[in-house]
Structure 1
Amino acid sequence: MNSGNRSIFPSARSTFFVLVAAALISLAGAFAFMYSGLYDVSAASGHNPLVAWFLHATYEQSLHRHAKNVHVPADLMTTANVEAGARLYQSTCVLCHGAPGQPLSPIGQGILPLAPNLLGATRRNNPQLMYWVIRNGVKMTAMPAFGKTHDDAQLWQIASFLYQARGISPHDYEKMTASGSGK
């Protein structure tokens, strides 16, 4: 029953060709899907759950990787920084992220995915991560890179406010974002 040098297992060469062919077919299929226009990219409809999961997981991993070497200033949580951050939040962030006790602006309502409620009580708002996002923005979202228009001290002030003000009441928010010292 000797079948010579033949084996029931495919050769490495034929396996390689099958893998290359499968990769090329997959690539051709991806391009065909892309150019078909079938995927709805409008901001008026929700994301496919698989796409949403994939994009959010990619965001989380990228954020943690790129922000790991950001050093938080020792004096970050001073009253002056938090109050200055509150006023900066009111002038630059509230349009998309909203504020306690205030309805979300029409611009904020039109963003998909909706910008997170950064002042929610359950938010972690790690200052290191918040600073990186505020400074660099996030691709394929409405989050701009404020590092192009604001200095590092201002970005850290916003990060300090976001950390300190989680769960802030509408009254305290209004008091803190008022002109002047915030008192």
Structure 2
Amino acid sequence: MIMRRLDRGWWRAVGLGAVLALAGAGLLGGVFILSGLYNVAASRQHFDITNMLIRLTLTRSVATRSMGVDVPDLSDERLAALGARHFDLGCAPCHASPGTEQNPIAAEMYPAPPPLTHAAEDWDAAELFWIVKHGLKFTGMPSWPALEREDEIWALVAFLERLPESGAQDYAALAGRRSGTGEVEFTFGGQNATETLCANCHGDENNPPVHHLAPGIAGQKAPYLLRALEEYASGERESGMMEPIAAALAPEEIEQLARHYAEERVLPSAAGVDMEAAARGAEIARNGARADDIPACLSCHGANTSGQFPRLDGLSAEYISTQLSLFRSGVRKGSVYSEIMMPIAERLSEQQIRDLAAYFASRAGGTGGEASAGPEARQ
């Protein structure tokens, strides 16, 4: 009985001592924080133990939270090329690129943005995706501007997977630069710098887009191009690639771009369109699908309709399918015009989306929204 009481007394003493120790540690910690003694200057590095703990926490957090990420096929070189073009504009200013030195201002950040030439060796594809999408706290690494545009994030991951094997010349080719006599330089610049910069991803009347995520805009209606750029600039339309570019454009530059591309000839879509699917899509585009309450697409997207509705003729089937899926999932929901498309896209089946995409991809030609005959003219 006496021993039991002694045991209880001992445990009470231990508990009280632990509480007092914690309270004391909290008090000392509070005094230390409020005193300002800790040096938060970027010019003063952490202790080695602090760096070790931060690094361990970071790697374990990324590894845990990237579990379950499904990695798609990243073998498409065009997808990597699109990622390289975004890297060149959005990432290289801080992280540098093969053949270039890091910006001295970025180099003085703490922690400094690391070179990404070995990122794919330090992180697997799922981890790279998570980092690019969500960013990293206390590092200056931002999250992707449009979190729901995972299709764009994978383009950057596809490029980062190839970066360890890329020298300056390989990088120049993938990023859309040209290489002269041993010297690497940008392809964009000069009098028409902005148009050339756009063409690096979107192509022009002589060159196709680098990838279907960047649609061909040659021959697109000027009012639609103007509205699209303004929506990207304001964040109404989500795109981690387009929002920062559009936000940097002055209103007069946006107007100039819209006029410039509207006057260009539409480049025919790539060969290989499923003409049977295109024929089924033609019926929906011209007459709608009454059983599914789907209106005729050409009632809004025809050549002579409002300039606020985009021309779809000649756009790649992949791009059209992607955009209809974005409308259906609610990702493209920010503008007034998206309110028109979202309920229609929700009623479309996967087969109908493929058929419509094939139909519009089979049509091309003209400028400023003129269209050549599609499969219905060949029937």
Superposition TM-score, scaled by structure 2 size: 0.44
SS in 2 for 1:65: helix
Residue of structure 2 in register with 1:29 after alignment: 28
Query: How far is 1:147 from its partner?
Result: 4.7
The CA deviation string for residues 139-181 of structure 1, in whole angstroms up to 9 with x for no partner, is: 1111000153782111111011111221411111111111354
AA aligned opposite 1:166: P
Residue of structure 2 in register with 1:18 after alignment: 17
Contact 1:84–1:158 (Cα < 8 Å) also in 2? yes
Residue of structure 2 in register with 1:99 after alignment: 97
Q: Which moved more, 1:143-152 or 1:57-66?
A: 143-152
Q: Which moved more, 1:160-169 or 1:146-155?
A: 146-155
Residue of structure 2 in register with 1:57 after alignment: 56
Residue of structure 2 in register with 1:151 after alignment: 149
Residue of structure 1 in register with 2:250 after alignment: none
Mapping for residues 111-150 of structure 1, pairs under 5 Å: 111-120=109-118, 123-148=121-146
Gaps of 5+ in 2: 177-199, 202-209, 212-379
AA aligned opposite 2:64: R
C-alpha separation between the residues in 2 aligned to 1:128 and 1:120?
15
Query: How far is 1:7 from its partner?
Result: 5.5
Query: How far is 1:8 from its partner?
Result: 9.2
Query: How far is 1:133 from its partner?
Result: 0.5
Superposition TM-score, scaled by structure 1 size: 0.87
Contact 1:120–1:167 (Cα < 8 Å) also in 2? no
C-alpha separation between the residues in 1 aligned to 2:134 and 2:60?
15
Q: Share of identical aligned residues, percent? A: 25
Q: Which moved more, 1:19-28 or 1:120-129?
A: 120-129
SS in 2 for 1:91: helix
Residue of structure 2 in register with 1:171 after alignment: 169
C-alpha separation between the residues in 2 aligned to 1:20 and 1:142?
38
Q: Which moved more, 1:22-31 or 1:141-150?
A: 141-150
Quickly say closer, same or farther: Cα 1:150–1:42, change in 2 above 3 A: farther
Residue of structure 1 in register with 2:47 after alignment: 48
C-alpha separation between the residues in 2 aligned to 1:66 and 1:117?
23
C-alpha separation between the residues in 2 aligned to 1:154 and 1:8?
64
Q: Which has the higher contact order (CA 8 A, sep 6+)?
A: 1
The CA deviation string for residues 23-56 of structure 1, in whole angstroms up to 9 with x for no partner, is: 1111111111111211111112222212111111
Quickly say closer, same or farther: Cα 1:112–1:93, change in 2 above 3 A: same
Q: How many residues align?
A: 178
Contact 1:125–1:162 (Cα < 8 Å) also in 2? no
SS in 2 for 1:30: helix
Contact 1:98–1:108 (Cα < 8 Å) also in 2? no
Contact 1:124–1:163 (Cα < 8 Å) also in 2? no
C-alpha separation between the residues in 1 aligned to 2:123 and 2:154?
12
Residue of structure 1 in register with 2:38 after alignment: 39
AA aligned opposite 2:42: A
The CA deviation string for residues 113-151 of structure 1, in whole angstroms up to 9 with x for no partner, is: 111211138833411101100000111111000153782
The CA deviation string for residues 51-82 of structure 1, in whole angstroms up to 9 with x for no partner, is: 11111111111111111011111x22211111
Contact 1:121–1:167 (Cα < 8 Å) also in 2? no
The CA deviation string for residues 73-118 of structure 1, in whole angstroms up to 9 with x for no partner, is: 1x22211111111111111111111111111113321221111211
Query: How far is 1:9 from its partner?
Result: 9.9
C-alpha separation between the residues in 2 aligned to 1:96 and 1:31?
36
Contact 1:96–1:105 (Cα < 8 Å) also in 2? yes
Bigger Cα Rg: 2
